[in-house]
Amino acid sequence: MTGSTAYALYGVFALGAIAMFLLLPQPQRSRPLVGAVAGLAALALLLVVLATRVATADTTVYFYLFAALAIASAARVISHPRPVYSALYFVLTVIAVAALLVLQHAEFLAVALIIIYAGAILVTYLFVIMLAHQGGSAVYDRRAREPLWTVLICFLLMATITTRAAVLPPAASPKGVPVSSSVAAGPAQLDGPPATFGNTAAVGATLMSRYIVAIQMAGVLLLISLVGAIALSRRKVRSDVPPMSARPLGQIGREVQPF
């Protein structure tokens, strides 16, 4: 990334930081509409800056489409005052990222991402949100903690990473030989039209030969997590809030507020 592009990106990040600061839930001086407009402007500028330095190809437009979708939905995940909507916007992020992985010829990983994230992890999140639901959006959802400093630091981090990306040559040119010669089928199927659809066979061969020990360890880790989650959920907890059943039976109905 040359100097002028980097400076343009810094400007885009500054605009994005302002947008994110306005979008974060805050009780006073909250202007989500202005934030949304600024955020969309920053996103459009980011795409324009990227488009000026990349020669167009037939799949380029899909990268821009899904990148914009991923960034916009991720911004909504962290700024929406209701957790259920955050989780649903996160599904959108996962789908956009999976589409980007397909563009990168990582078909197996894209499908795995959708199945594991949108299928399994998000359902767990939604279950917990429903279990801990308190009706409407709570006070702590409508008030962010130190939004100014957080946005400042995180956008500085983004700008720093972007500057370091300048070291790499812009085109996706292959850099010589692979780091280590693993499966022969692996590198050949990464690029170009594959003989059969997807790279599942190549990924599976890599995982089952080079990473076989890591696969076993991942299985053990999942088992440990399973046992740990069950042990955690079965634990007896001393609640600080008196439960409903501890009160006299006739009093319970009278204390309930009518909505």
Partner 1 sequence: MIGVSEHILLGAVLFGLGLIGFLSRRNLIVIFLSTEVMFQGVVINAVAFARYHRHLDGQAFALFLLVIAAVEAGLALGMVMLLYRQKQTLDAEDWSSMRG
Task: Output 1 or 38, the one with its CB closest to partner 1.
Answer: 1
Per-residue x/- marks for partner 1, 178-217, CB under 8 A?
xxx-xx--xx--xx-------x--xx--xx--xx--x---
CA 227 to chain centre: 27
At 108, give phi and psi (nearest 5°): -60, -45
Per-residue x/- marks for partner 1, 120-159, CB under 8 A?
xx--xx--xx-xx-----xxxx-xxxxx--xx-xxx-xx-
Alpha-helix runs per DSSP H in the chain: 3-23, 32-53, 60-79, 83-103, 107-113, 122-131, 147-164, 185-188, 200-209, 212-233, 252-255
Q: Which one of 4, 33, 212, 228 is in contact with partner 1 (CB under 8 A)?
A: 228
Contact region with partner 1 (CB under 8 A), list: 27-35, 223-231, 248-256: 223-231
CB of 256 to partner 1, least distance (A): 16
Decide if 161 contacts 1 (C-beta within 8 A): no
The span from the CA of 166 to the CA of 69, in Å, is 24
Instruction: Report 86-115 residues binding partner 1 (CB under 8 A).
Output: 86-87, 90, 93-94, 97, 100-101, 103-106, 108-109, 112-113
Task: Output 38 or 113, the one with its CB closest to partner 1.
Answer: 113
Name the DSSP class of 146.
S
Decide if 40 contacts 200 (C-beta within 8 A): no
171 near partner 1, judged by CB under 8 A: yes
Say which residue the tokens 């998000």 belong to.
122
The span from the CA of 231 to the CA of 225, in Å, is 10
CB of 41 to partner 1, least distance (A): 15
Task: Output 37 or 115, the one with its CB closest to partner 1.
Answer: 115
Decide if 209 contacts 182 (C-beta within 8 A): yes
Task: Output 30 or 206, the one with its CB closest to partner 1.
Answer: 206
Instruction: Report 29-88 residues binding partner 1 (CB under 8 A).
Output: 46, 50, 54-55, 57, 59-60, 63, 67, 70-71, 74-75, 77-79, 83, 86-87
The span from the CA of 72 to the CA of 65, in Å, is 11
CB of 129 to partner 1, least distance (A): 6
